[in-house]
Every structure is written in C-alpha cells, then in structure tokens.
Structure 1
C-alpha cells in the first residue's frame, strides 16, 4: 500500500466510521489488567472502560506517579469496586521496566495486558539509554515488556483455562513507513536508526516506530501459543489527546478529523476483550484487517525476522538472558 493510499484510507475511516463501546454485558469480573501509558489520553480512557466492566484489579503503569494518582482517583470515583493501583514505569529506563516486571510476577493473575505507552517528537532526541527516543520507548520498551510479562499471562491462562490477552497499540501510520528502513544496507538497523543522521525531521520516525510495533507483534505471535496468550495489535485511529502536543500539524488537522480519546479507548478495549481469533492480527475500525502487501512480502518477512533477532539479542545483552522467557521457539 502506497503512502498516498494509506492517507486516503485514514481520511475515509476517520470520517465514515465512529468507534463504539464494547457491549454493556461484557463482563470481566475477577480479572486483572495492566494498562501502560494510562494517566492520560487513550490509555486513561481505556482503563476507565475496562474498570466499568467488572474488572477486579487495574494497574496503571505510568511514568509520573502523581499524575497516575489523579487518574486513579478519577477511575475509582466511577468504579469504586475496582481495585486501582499505580505502578511506576518508565520505558526510557531498563531498570524501571525490569523492576515493574519483577513486581508483576507476584500477581495472583494477569488476564489483560494493554501495551499502550508511546511518544511522538518531530526532532531528534536521544534517550537516557543511548538509543533514539522513538526506538527506545515505542519499540524497545514495548518489546521488552511484551517478553517480561509473558510469564504472568501464561500462568493465568493455565489457572483459568482461557487464553490471556496482550494488545499492542500500533497505528495505521505504520504503513507510511517502508520495510526498506528495516532491510537497508546497514548490518544492524537499530544502531543505524540511533544515529542523528538517520533522522528526518517530522513524523517519519514515529511512523517507522509504529511499523516496528507491527512487525514485532506479528513475529512475537509466532512464538506464543494462542491457547495461552492471544497477541494482537490495534490501530486506535487519529484521536485528539495530549499525545500530539509536540505536533501542531496533527492538532490542527485533528480538529476536523480527530476522534475523542474516549472513542480511541473503545478501539483499544475492543481489541483487548473481543476477537478471540485475532492472534497475530492487526485490528482497525474494530475489525481484523489485512496488513499491506509490503509487510506480507518476502522483503517484509525478512524485515520482521531481522528486527526480531536483533531486538532479542539487544534485550538479552541489556537485561540478561535469565530475565527473558526461555520458551521463544516457534509455537505449534
């Protein structure tokens, strides 16, 4: 799918489609959910909606504890029966993510994991880890958490006899980026993307980071048994929230095209609770959608496997191989 076709598709569904909440009878009583990036915007909207469907325990994974406490208070006012907890999580910090995952191992159950945290900047910045910030937060942080939190998700599936759910927030803007960026001439793609010379001012790097989310989620699903954990990815649509605060163009266009954060939350919750056959699939407009041919092509498959191998090696070097799951062979 060309960039122009992607943009036309976005324009069409933003104007023609309106997200709907999951059916009111949807019941997740007794379940536990983690939502990252949940103190504002789509993450907060999704957290509120999950709590409204009988969720027993909701963990708000946030970088700023004080803002997390404000979100907790708002959710608790509307859903006093849901036990809401605020846990610190910074995807710019290996130690923070390792500590968060270690704490999650003690949970008696973890049914739903919504990996929603992300960022967008128009200029190059380098994270504390040394990686370009989109690569660190949007890709490497999401990838690490998806691996570190597999164990409690699998444990819950064994306990309940039903698969747990992992949903990664992607974007249709992923398909503006090219798989050439992951299969280029460089021996290793992440070190290349970490260099300031590789960064084009504007939204290109954000779009690429979302493509990395799609490729990672698709490959991760190959290594996870759908009977244990359903792994999918979701396009929440173009929503007006604080997420676009550094992108004036998106703010201006969003006045005419943007959905509300609540509507974006409907998309996230729909992906996390419904579509049991969505393992390894991309959801948009609350349906399973095909990814573009470029992702499915031979080159796309090379890019997907290359990203998986390189990311896994990097994460093992950073956090130590003992912290990552042993069962990452291709699932049956």
Structure 2
C-alpha cells in the first residue's frame, strides 16, 4: 500500500506463511549473505528444513557464522553448511567472495540479505557513505558476481527449465524516501556527502529505494541478454520482509520505537518466511514481493522520472564497480 495506515494494517492483519511442505530443495545449493543473524539466519533455517543439500553463509565474523552453522545443522543435519568471510565494507573482501562463488559447481538460490540501518552519518573504509556502500554498492556488486554461476547452474542442472533465483532484500520504506538527491549531477557522489544525510531513517529509506531500482534494471538486462543469447534463466526479484523484531533495528533508539515494534513487528522467523517465499515461490521477473505476493512498487519507481533515475543509477553504479572489478559487465555476462 505504501502509506503508513496501509503499513500498520498489513503488520497487524497479515501472517507470513512458511514454505509449503511439498517443496523439496534436495540437491540444490543456496547462498545467503547476513545468514548468521536475524532474518538471514531464519531464512537459512527454513531452506535447510526443505531438504537443501548445501548452504553457504556469507558473514563478516566467522565465529558468529560458525555458531549459526551449528544451530542450522542441529536442526537439519543432512544439510552441508559452510561459512565464508564477507565484509560488505571492503571491495577486496567482496571480490574474494565472488571468486569463490565463481568456482562453485552449482548455485541455485541467492538471497542478498546483509544490510545496515543507522541514524547517523558514517563513512565506510571505501570512502562511500555506509548505507550506500553496504546496502547499494556491495549488494549490487555481489548481484553481478553471482550471475555467471547462477546462469551455469540454470543451463546444466535446472530441471523442467526452472530458473535459478536471485533475491535482494529491500523494504516498504522505499515508498517513504524523499530522495532529493535524484536531481544531482552525480547521485551517488551526492549521497556520499555528509550534507546530504537526512534526519531519522531517511538514508536507510533511500538505500532501499536504490535496491528496488537496481533490481528492476538488473532484471531487465539479464532477461534481455538471455533472450538474445539463449542463456539459462535467472529469476531476479526484490522482497519486502515487513517490519520484524531483528537486530537490524539495534541502533534505532528513538523513544517509543521499541514499544512500537513490540506491537507491530513480526518475528524474525516470519520475516525469514517472506525471504524464502520470494527466493523459491514467486515467479515475476523483476518483481517487488510484499506480504508474499507480487505488488506494485512506489509511484516514483513506476514514473517516467523513476525510469530515468533507474538508468542513471545503473550507469553511475557500473562506473564505480568497473573501477573495483575491471570488466565487471563482461564478467557478469551483461
């Protein structure tokens, strides 16, 4: 719905459902970033419950990833769980992670769940504002680096022409971003400036809007490339997991927020159900999934101006990422 009343209504009346018991993921490999905590961990557990053969957790702190691995395997001992280091604030770490992905024999499901939410400006070691670095640039680079292995798997392992899957976690808050930076000559450079950092959740909201725009443009380009060259199918979408009582909100100390979350927030497991539904069940290419159905994103995203910003954001992002990974467009098959 996009408005506050619609948001509150959905939080109170909708109950996310787990994957149907009939779904069997035997033989498949999944990768989840941020899979050691919160919604990512719950999504990992639920995939493992459905017979997943191999699960890769991309985590910043290996010890926490190993604890998550042990928790998942106690519940689903037949699922092989491996932990790979991934620092979303380091392009070198992301490149090393991508190289390991490239060497995988198969990869069926990717959920890019790692993200941050902060109320104060912080510059990442890369020089970019932290939300732009983690939620947009790192996530975008990862989405490109996993494409070749997803494509290979779709071509060689997928039965009945079923697609491999890439899901990026976004949020309904993209409806609420004011996004004045859209008019800047260089949007991402403007967003890196401390003077552009708005009050409250504004920067987080904007980063989730960037996720939606990236999903739509990436999906268009992947689908067009596959149609031209006969590659195996990759289904790409973005998911709103709803407001959930997770560690994402640990820095949000505004008075009353914790009480609000106790009333309206879903459990992390329910949020995890939204993630795996988008990554396994939903079939709309480039879709925005909310309350476990495909929905229309914000009016801005669907507007002519939104379309122009979407393409401009793509070009700016690829310009930055091409300096990090030369030839990233060719490497990803775009």
TM-score, normalisation: structure 2 = 0.94
Q: Which residue of 2 aligns with 1:316?
A: 322
In 2, Cα distance between equivalents of 1:322 and 1:239? 35
Q: Which residue of 2 aligns with 1:232?
A: 237
Q: Select between 23-32 and 218-227 the one with higher mean Cα deviation.
A: 218-227
Does residue 295 (structure 1) correspond to residue 295 (structure 2)? The answer is: no
Structure 1 residue matching 2:3: 3-state secondary structure: helix
Cα pair 1:148 1:323 within 8 Å, conserved: no
In 1, Cα distance between equivalents of 2:150 and 2:87? 21
Q: CA deviation at 1:252?
A: 3.0
Cα pair 2:112 2:168 within 8 Å, conserved: yes
Mapping of 1:194-233 within 5 angstroms?
194-225=192-223, 228-233=233-238
Count residues with an aligned counterpart.
Answer: 322
Q: CA deviation at 1:274?
A: 0.3
Unaligned runs of 5+ in 1: none
Cα pair 2:300 2:306 within 8 Å, conserved: yes
Q: Which residue of 2 aligns with 1:258?
A: 265
Q: CA deviation at 1:7?
A: 1.5
In 2, Cα distance between equivalents of 1:282 and 1:323? 24
Does residue 81 (structure 1) correspond to residue 78 (structure 2)? The answer is: yes
Q: Which residue of 2 aligns with 1:66?
A: 63
What RMSD over aligned residues (CA atoms) do the two structures have, in Å?
A: 1.4
Mapping of 1:134-283 within 5 angstroms?
134-161=131-158, 162-178=162-178, 180-182=180-182, 184=183, 186-225=184-223, 228-249=233-254, 250-276=257-283, 278-283=284-289
Structure 1 residues 311 and 35: alpha-carbon distance in aligned structure 2, compared to 1, 3 A threshold: same
Cα pair 1:179 1:294 within 8 Å, conserved: no
Q: CA deviation at 1:14?
A: 0.1
Q: CA deviation at 1:202?
A: 1.4
Q: CA deviation at 1:291?
A: 1.3
In 1, Cα distance between equivalents of 2:288 and 2:16? 16
Structure 1 residues 326 and 79: alpha-carbon distance in aligned structure 2, compared to 1, 3 A threshold: closer
Q: CA deviation at 1:324?
A: 5.2
Q: Which residue of 1 aligns with 2:20?
A: 23
In 2, Cα distance between equivalents of 1:310 and 1:188? 7
Q: CA deviation at 1:178?
A: 3.4
Structure 2 residue matching 1:327: 3-state secondary structure: coil
Structure 1 residue matching 2:282: 3-state secondary structure: coil
Does residue 327 (structure 1) correspond to residue 323 (structure 2)? The answer is: no
Unaligned runs of 5+ in 2: 227-231
Q: Which residue of 2 aligns with 1:117?
A: 114
